[in-house]
A = this chain, B = another copy of it.
Amino acid sequence: MRHYLGISDEEFIRSKQVPMTKKEVRILTLVKARIPANGVVWDIGAGTGSLSIEAANLCPQGKVWAIERRPEAISLLRLNIANLAVPNIGIIAAEAPDGLEKIPAPDCVLIGGTGGQLEDILEAVHKRLRPRGRIVLNCVTVQTMYNALSWFRAHEEQYDYEAVQVQVSQLRRVGNYDMMQSDNPICIIAASPKHHMEVA
């Protein structure tokens, strides 16, 4: 198993139908998730599994649950897990929030693809997240960014959160030149429960 974060994108098998979180966004997402070495991680909308696999490498004594509903994505996920020989990932073939009730309570929840169920997923996560837990969302659409920010605004008594938009351009050599090729921008929201009890 690799002990560092930052597997190159080329090591994952991909398909056109299942977009993959790119390396720099994976790094930021997983660092912001503050995954404990023995942690339980939920990866909701796991897609190709690039986040699940790197998360699993960060919690060798823990376990990652990859929740994914699309059969073609699940196939890719299985291929990538086998290919990179990651032992500590369980796959839940379901459309979240379905399937979340039967897995252990999470230390960290990664939310990518949400199929329009964002609020229901956030409510389900809210009920199960451990007190020192972290939620990290990757939003690629205006609507998901808005809905996620709205949910955290509505729950600001319960969560501290921060959000950034990140735009990465890869420098690619073309002969004597370096061109910049842009990935699409993504909004990363990272949240922690507030600890009112401690104050009392």
A residues engaging B (CB < 8 A)?
4-6, 24, 27-28, 31-32, 34, 116, 140-146, 149, 162-171, 174, 176-185, 187
List the B side residues contacting A185 at CB < 8 Å: 165, 169, 180, 182
B174 touches A164 (CB 8 A): no
B149 touches A171 (CB 8 A): yes
List the B side residues contacting A184 at CB < 8 Å: 169, 179-182
Q: Could you list 26 A-B pairs, sorted by A, with CB under 8 Å?
A: A4-B31, A4-B34, A6-B34, A27-B28, A28-B28, A142-B146, A143-B146, A143-B178, A146-B146, A149-B171, A162-B170, A162-B171, A164-B169, A165-B168, A165-B169, A165-B171, A165-B180, A165-B185, A166-B168, A167-B167, A167-B168, A171-B187, A180-B184, A181-B184, A182-B182, A182-B183
List the B side residues contacting A179 at CB < 8 Å: 140-141, 184
CB < 8 Å neighbour of A6 from B32, B163, B177: B32
Cα distance A145–B167 in the bound complex, in angstroms: 18
Given A169-B185, A171-B142, A5:B31 Cβ within 8 A:
yes
CB < 8 Å neighbour of A144 from B143, B162, B169, B177: B177
Cα distance A84–B141 in the bound complex, in angstroms: 35
List the B side residues contacting A140 at CB < 8 Å: 179-180
CB < 8 Å neighbour of A142 from B4, B31, B32, B142: B142
B182 touches A143 (CB 8 A): no
